[in-house]
Amino acid sequence: MTEFKAGDRARVKITACLGPGETGVVGHVKDELVFLRLDDSEYSGWYYPGELEPLPKKTKQTVIRWMKVIRDGEKCYQITGFENVLGEAELPHAYCVSGPLYLKTREGGICLYLPRVQKFEHPIPGQSAIFIEMVEVGDVISEETLNVIITWMQRAGARLAKIRRKEREAWNGEGETVI
């Protein structure tokens, strides 16, 4: 009998042939097979339980998944996935108009807008103080780059929390509409 049941969250292991690194919700289990509805894809499919790993219940925190690799003799990280990254339509306007900020790309990676940092070399046209870093699943990056990305994502996340807190505080009171 499999450890999965309907409603559980799971990730496809990197060793699986179809959809490695994808996450989803278990639809149902039948004869030692698990049907997984993938989060960021129109595809779903049957997997053997050994091809899946259970995930904790979904949280609001962003998660970066990676695998350690060696590239040209250097210790690096290959990005294997992102979870809980919001797209521009899901974010407050006040957050999107200045940095630091990050958001989901159409390809499922992240786009990180941040103040000028020597490490990154992609300026936003017309703005000398902001740089863009795109990170996609499959990218191989150095430990230094990963640490810079994590630091700025944490700062952007704290900024988003502050903006959302202000929005909640501003949305209070009572009213009356006479028609």
- Which percentage of the chain shows pLDDT scores above 90? 13
CATH 2.30.30 in the chain is located at: 9-55
Q: CA–CA separation, 151 vs 162, rounded Å? A: 17
| CA dihedral for 137, 108, 45, 56, sign (positive or negative) | positive
Q: Which residue has the higher pLDDT, 119 or 105?
A: 105
Cβ atoms 37, 24 nearer than 8 A: yes
HSE toward the beta carbon, residue 68, CA cutoff 13 A? 3
Using alpha carbons, select from 50, 49, 4 the residue that is nearest to residue 27. 4
Q: Is the model's pLDDT at 85 over the cut of 60?
A: yes
Has domain 9-55 been given CATH number 2.30.30?
A: yes
Pairwise CA distance, residues 10 & 87, whole Å: 22
